[in-house]
Structure 1
Amino acid sequence: MKVTVARDGKRLILKALTKATTHHAELQMISAKSMERTDTVLEEILEEFNAVFQEPTELPPKRMIEHQIDLYPGAIPNKQAPYRYTHAQKAKIKTLVKEILEARIIRPSQSSFSSLVLLDKKKDGTWRMCVDYSKPLEEHHTHLRIALNLLRQNKLYAKRSKCSFGKRSVEYFGHVISAKGIATDPSKFEGMLTWPTPKDVKGLREFLGLTGY
């Protein structure tokens, strides 16, 4: 291996001492994803507390405070017939109950109280079992009277046009919350459906900015 250079009008030839080529470095293509910085301290902390992220296999240990539910004198037990479920939902509920029963999170009970079970699909496609503690509409009327009476007694005022009562669904931050779950507010789609077809790059960017949410 030799290299020719010019200096002060003279040509210099630099030759290697050996004919063998020595590699001092290698260049490799690295994707942007692999270039992400790794927080080693954060990884060490998460590894140290790995037990916190494990699936529970039993009830937690006995705490210093013993929780109990005090009932009003003469309280009537709340007991309702189960909802009607599809065959697939029934099978899933049985599976979930079996899992938490084996994990000793729950135990068999002969209590006169019982509440309804609901299945809620999570974002990852799995199911979450929930308990429905909702009461009849008449109890809601009682609670509403109590709340409005407190406002009246304390000279506090609410704007009727901004209040909603007896609704089966409510709008909240661009979403509609109902018994069926959470859905995007249909009014948010109107601007997208009526938006003119982009004819250039600028128009396309504006449309993508609108639909980016």
Structure 2
Amino acid sequence: MEELVVLEISGVKRGETTYLAAIREVSGGDLEEEDHPAVIDAVLGEFKDVMPQELPKRLPPRREVDHAIELEPGAKPPAKAPYRMAPPELEELQRQLKDLLDAGFIKPSKAPYGAPVLFQRKSYGSLRLCIDYRALNKVTVKNKYPIPLVADLFDQLGGAKFFTKLDLRSGYYQVRIAEGDEEKTACVTRYGAYEFLVMPFGLTNAPATFCTLMNKLFHPYLDRFVVVYLDDIVVYSNTLEEHVEHLRTIFQVLRENQLFVKREKCSFAKEEVHFLGHWIGRGQLHMDQQKVRAICEWEAPSTVSELRSFLGLVNYYPRFIAGYSARAAPLTDLLKKTQSWDWTPRCAEAFEDLKRAVTEDPVLRLPDCSRSFELQAAAGQRGQRASDSAFSSYRRRPPHFPEFGAAPHTRARARHFASGHFPSHHPHTATLCSTTRTATWHRPGG
């Protein structure tokens, strides 16, 4: 089945709006009810209140973690003028403001704060209301709570046989703004000023707040049978019987904390699941073919901004590309502030090389931490590479003994897989030493 997707592109020329139409394939699973084992259907029926068609028309409860906005001492309330919008955007703005008012998520504001609103188009075409809080964020004290490392989350899923992915429905709107900080969220539109009572998109500390909340709620089960990345929750198990019990446990946590799931974006009891731009299952990690296709169809960039966008997409998959840092070096060098734009044949070759590399579609086997590991390291004049469960690479200035530098890099990148000594292999062992010995050498003429 196919659907027509119309994308709006603003800013082609000042004052103009352009639309781009494209047809994309839609899998049947996007539109039809999935088939599940009967025991999974029973769990879904038991917790159907956790999966409503829309969020309840009421504020979420106060929790241990609400979103606080602490300003730097002496900061003045930032206020900006509204942005201009195209007629379709204004129509959508009116609709979304009405929905937010009806739900009680916003209220009219007379605060001295004011941030303009804009829209971000979601992957399936609809518009997400965002607030340009850059001025507010600049004077906000930053919350350094750590966001999970994606590679760590993947490693936890390696041995599982069944996966369920849960997506919270408008997850940010299920978190309250801390009492007294509501006025700081004030936004300005053509139709008036409003302040949020729930957490909007665009606040600098919003991801940290969300991670804090999720980690507190699911702390007893993290890395046992659930991993969480912002509003994406993956439940994983070795057997279907375990999976049923794990699902009940997670659904009960959601119910007790009045958190709601968007069922149409969830996958239940699958042997393979799409998570953070990858497909995971059967102990393996695959690239998302839609992203691979986008990389392969990317035209040669003509500006730093276009190059940064391309590398941002490729950077989803550095662990799939052997020697990635060295192969991307001609391109990443162009991003340096001291480097002027010069698209040389070497840059064009590196660009095409990265596109070819993702089409090779290597399958990465996720680590089984109950087994021992053997590491391989190699080095060249442009970079060094390690191989354990995936590719790892970095650049360095060419030393006289590059393999010597590759070994510490390899061990540093893979040390979390081993509690002690483990064997490693290098193509030029004469230049290397055992981890229990100290090696010294002198540069020629040094």
The TM-score normalised by the length of structure 2 is 0.24
Structure having the higher Rg: 1
Question: TM-score when scaled to structure 1?
Answer: 0.47
